[in-house]
Structure 1
Amino acid sequence: MSREILADFPAGGPRGSWPAEEAAQQLRQAGTPATVVMDIDRDLFLVVPEAEQ
């Protein structure tokens, strides 16, 4: 299964920093439903569109 990736961020960011969550929040405020998931294999946080229900 393939999904669109809106942004990606290294998992080893500075302590207390949440850049993926901040990017997802900015997208949501702009009207694009987005969420953050972890790509364990690549050690990245991915910002992806929220799954449609």
Structure 2
Amino acid sequence: MNKLEKKNSKFLEYFFNISSLGTIGIFLVLIILLTFFTAERNFMRLDNIRNLL
């Protein structure tokens, strides 16, 4: 593997780490928003969260 290929693979690893973190972040934001907008429908009660965990 030459230097350029090594650099590219490092970049790809870095990029995938960032994108997976971004995906998790977006997922968390969506859950929080849903919690607020469906609060009266009990979308995320503590019981449901405990069942998920």
- Tell me if both proteins adopt one fold, taking TM over 0.5 as the criterion: no
User: Where is the helix percentage greater, Structure 1 or Structure 2?
Assistant: 2
Bigger CA radius of gyration: 2
User: Where is the strand percentage greater, Structure 1 or Structure 2?
Assistant: 1
TM-score computed with the length of structure 2 as normaliser: 0.30
